[in-house]
Amino acid sequence: MTARIIDGKTIAADLRGRIAGEVVRLKATLTPGIAVVLVGDNPASEVYVRTKSKAVVEAGMRPFDHKLPAATSEADLLALIAKLNADANVNGILVQLPLPPQIDAYKVTAAIDPAKDVDGFHPLNVGRLSSGLPGLVPCTPLGCVLLAKTVHDSLAGLEAVVIGRSNIVGKPAAQLLLAENATVTIAHSKTRDLPGICRRADLLVAAIGKPEMVRGDWIKPGATVIDVGINRVPGEGGKSRIVGDVAFAEAAKTAGAVTPVPGGVGPMTIACLLLNTLRAACAQKGLPVPKL
């Protein structure tokens, strides 16, 4: 079998186009605004923030970027969050993680107005997701589910295995799949017989952070594989290259459909950030939240 490649780039571009269309439609009523806050000069974070800000502008939304020095105190960051919470033009707030050691990331996340928490990390939104209530949900897991739904009309009854139980990917991915009525198993570093558990999966989500750990013979023939991993490994000529958590070439021989890395989940994360911002803005103005 040769797997269908789930083209995240194209699917994300299509979603971004629909979001931009909705922003145009709402223009007379509101222009969604998002504040992206970066503390320090972590090069990877700077790239993410630049990419996010560009996407915000392309979607017709208003960016409110804040770049703070690495020595910023927790009190100063919390004061900025309070200001953004009170600013009616700011509909979404994202604080890029990781934060410098003098700042408690949990305190900062919990200080964001849950209605503006477009990362979906606020404890209230985490609780809403696990209670099956509507709320803002984390962007990467949401992207994973939307990609899986390009393959399956319904995820109901599918045997889904999520490898990874982080608060930002694994756990919310499992909750979202449960909300879609999949039968969900969460695997992690202490799981016994991981290959055997993966072989049960109709839908396999890998969020591990270990280059190409999931091998072709871990995959049930015909399964859908969503690879969240972003791992930098040595490439040719002293350069580095990015690979996922799944051995892509092997997986493509067994799976029914598989996401590439790069070009799979990554672009969907940004599209889902825009989607969350649009949804948050509409909810704050009392407008119907677009389905898209």
Of the residues 96, 113, 202, 245, only one is catalytic, namely: 96
- Check if 175 is active-site: no
- Among 166, 183, 185, 284, interactor with ligand NAP by CB under 6 A: 166
CB of 214 to ligand NAP, least distance (A): 9
Using rule CB under 6 A, residue 188 touches ligand NAP = yes
Using rule CB under 6 A, residue 229 touches ligand NAP = yes
- Among 26, 169, 177, 201, interactor with ligand NAP by CB under 6 A: 169
Q: Are 143 and 120 in contact (CB under 8 A)?
A: no
Using rule CB under 6 A, residue 240 touches ligand NAP = no
Using rule CB under 6 A, residue 276 touches ligand NAP = no
Stretch binding ligand NAP (CB under 6 A), from 28-36, 73-81, 158-166, 217-225: 158-166
Stretch binding ligand NAP (CB under 6 A), from 58-66, 69-77, 162-170, 216-224: 162-170
Q: How many CA atoms lie within 13 A of 291 on its CB side?
A: 0
The CB density around residue 157, as the number of other CB atoms within 10 Å, is: 11
Using rule CB under 6 A, residue 230 touches ligand NAP = yes
| Nearer to ligand NAP (CB atom), residue 19 or residue 163 | 163
Distances in Å between the alpha carbon of 120 and those of 24, 40, 112, 123, 211?
A: 25, 22, 10, 8, 27
- Among 215, 231, 242, 253, interactor with ligand NAP by CB under 6 A: 231
Burial class (CB in 10 A: 0-12, 13-18, 19+), 216: middle
Using rule CB under 6 A, residue 228 touches ligand NAP = yes
- The β-bridge relationship of strands 231-234 and 240-243 is antiparallel
| Nearer to ligand NAP (CB atom), residue 153 or residue 193 | 193
| Nearer to ligand NAP (CB atom), residue 51 or residue 183 | 51
- Check if 220 is active-site: no
The closest residue (CB) to ligand NAP is 166
Using rule CB under 6 A, residue 96 touches ligand NAP = no
Of the residues 113, 116, 117, 119, only one is catalytic, namely: 119
User: Can you spell out the DSSP letters for 39-90?
Assistant: ES--HHHHHHHHHHHHHHHHTTPEEEEEEE-TT--HHHHHHHHHHHHH-TT-
Residue with tokens 């969350």: 276
For the annotated catalytic residues, the residue numbers are 52, 96, 119
Binding-site ranges for ligand NAP (CB under 6 A): 140, 163-166, 168-170, 187-191, 194, 207-210, 228-231, 265-266, 269
